[in-house]
């Protein structure tokens, strides 16, 4: 496995790889890898000749009061896990390497960012689009892999690629969970012991909400009522929307999503399903 820290070195590797007729799969991450990331690498390996994993904690997607400096980092462990799973290249640039000057042009996620997490994190998804656009160009990936746990991010990136004719395919990876149903997340390490015991209730509530939605009952009320008294965290939002349009006009595919703020960790989870029960 090769570790690349500069854009020029990455460009050189991409040029040689493309000239040899090899396909490239990209797995963008912010590091502190878990089984969800590993599942994306495995999917990328099955569909491409070479796999590039980026490890870059992107400051552009963190707000002024968010946890950029606190975001968990463990380079040695990340490198070992990436190598064990068969990653060909880790692209691990510095902030200065990725953003050598203040950007003169911005990319807006638009109305897709006005709901769910985007409603409470203005500018967050603009920062996501900024970094993935750079990564798509730099790696010239044939396919890029994103997990469904971050379903709003996935929908926004799919829209970017479709609307602006990026020459790559976006591949979805199913949410990877702990044995008790908690979605794998780098931020889970911030949960206290008591909060960790409460956290599986998020997925259990969503399962009940999905059934309610299919039966024509109010899924938001069902989820909220279930969580009341079972978690110590504060509910940020519970929403049912069309997917991936993220509007209230639900015809078939829907997303039931929530976010809960615990003392030191904000957890998100969702279910994507057919509202007709198909």
Long-range contacts of residues 215-224, Cβ cutoff 8 Å, at least 24 apart: 219/256, 223/256, 223/258
Domains of the chain: 2-173 (3.40.50.620), 186-273 (3.30.1300.10)
Contacting residues for 53 by C-beta, under 8 A, at least 6 apart: 26, 27, 28, 29, 37, 41, 82, 87, 89, 90, 91
CB burial of 232-263 (b: ≥16 within 10 Å; e: otherwise) equals: ebebbebbbbbbbbbeeebeebbbbbbbbebe
Which residues are part of a known binding site for ATP?
30-37, 147-150, 176, 184-187
Whole-number pLDDT of residue 174: 96
Q: How confident is the model at residue 74 (pLDDT cuts 50, 70, 90)?
A: very high
Give yes or no for residue 40 having a pLDDT over 80.
yes
Question: Mean pLDDT over residues 207-229, rounded?
Answer: 98
Which residues are part of a known binding site for beta-alanine?
61
Question: Mean pLDDT over residues 236-242, rounded?
Answer: 98
Give yes or no for residue 55 having a pLDDT over 80.
yes
Q: How confident is the model at residue 146 (pLDDT cuts 50, 70, 90)?
A: very high
State the catalytic residue, choosing from 37, 124, 137, 201: 37
* Residue indicated by tokens 């929908």: 155
**Which phi and psi (to 5°) does residue 153 adopt?**
-60, -45
Whole-number pLDDT of residue 107: 94
pLDDT in tens, 87-96: 999 999 999 9
**Which phi and psi (to 5°) does residue 43 adopt?**
-65, -40
Whole-number pLDDT of residue 278: 77
Which residues are part of a known binding site?
30-37, 61, 147-150, 153, 176, 184-187
Give yes or no for residue 43 having a pLDDT over 80.
yes
Question: Mean pLDDT over residues 99-105, rounded?
Answer: 94
Question: Mean pLDDT over residues 191-219, rounded?
Answer: 98
Q: How many CB atoms lie within 10 A of CB 219?
A: 25
Q: What is the pTM of this model?
A: 0.95
Give yes or no for residue 185 having a pLDDT over 90.
yes
Half-sphere exposure for 96 (CA within 13 Å, toward CB): 0
Q: How confident is the model at residue 131 (pLDDT cuts 50, 70, 90)?
A: very high
Q: How confident is the model at residue 64 (pLDDT cuts 50, 70, 90)?
A: confident
Taking the CA atoms of 26, 28, 34 and 40 in sequence, report the sign of the dihedral they define: negative
Whole-number pLDDT of residue 65: 78
Question: Mean pLDDT over residues 143-170, rounded?
Answer: 98
Higher pLDDT, 197 or 277: 197
Residue among 61, 81, 58 at smallest CA distance from 156: 61
* pLDDT, averaged across the chain: 97
Question: Mean pLDDT over residues 8-15, rounded?
Answer: 98
Which residues are part of a known binding site for (R)-pantoate?
61, 153
Annotated catalytic, 137?
A: no
Whole-number pLDDT of residue 108: 96
Whole-number pLDDT of residue 66: 83
């Amino acid at each position: 496995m090769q570790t690349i820290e500069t854009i020029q070195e990455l460009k050189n590797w991409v040029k040689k790889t493309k000239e040899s007729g090899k396909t490239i799969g990209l797995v963008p991450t912010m590091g502190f890898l878990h089984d969800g990331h590993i599942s994306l690498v495995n999917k990328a390996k099955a569909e491409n000749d070479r796999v590039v994993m980026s490890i870059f904690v992107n400051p552009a997607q963190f707000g002024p009061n968010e946890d950029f400096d606190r975001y968990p980092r463990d380079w040695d462990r990340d490198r070992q896990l990436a190598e064990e799973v068969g990653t060909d290249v880790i692209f691990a640039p510095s902030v200065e390497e990725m953003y050598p000057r203040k950007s003169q042009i911005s990319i807006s996620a638009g109305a897709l960012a006005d709901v769910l997490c985007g409603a409470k994190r203005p500018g967050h998804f603009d920062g996501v689009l900024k970094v993935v656009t750079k990564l798509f160009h730099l790696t010239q990936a044939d396919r890029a892999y994103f997990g469904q746990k971050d379903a709003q991010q996935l929908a926004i990136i799919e829209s970017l690629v479709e609307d602006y004719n990026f020459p790559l395919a976006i591949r979805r990876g199913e949410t990877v969970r702990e044995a008790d149903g908690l979605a794998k997340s780098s931020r889970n390490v911030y949960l206290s012991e008591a909060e960790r015991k409460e956290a599986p209730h998020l997925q259990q509530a969503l399962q009940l909400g999905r059934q309610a939605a299919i039966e024509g009952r109010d899924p938001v009320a069902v989820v909220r009522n279930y969580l009341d008294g079972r978690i110590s965290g504060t509910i940020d939002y519970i929403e049912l929307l069309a997917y991936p349009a993220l509007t209230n006009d639900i015809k078939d595919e829907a997303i039931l999503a929530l976010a809960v703020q615990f003392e030191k960790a904000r957890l998100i989870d969702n279910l994507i399903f057919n509202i007709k029960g198909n």
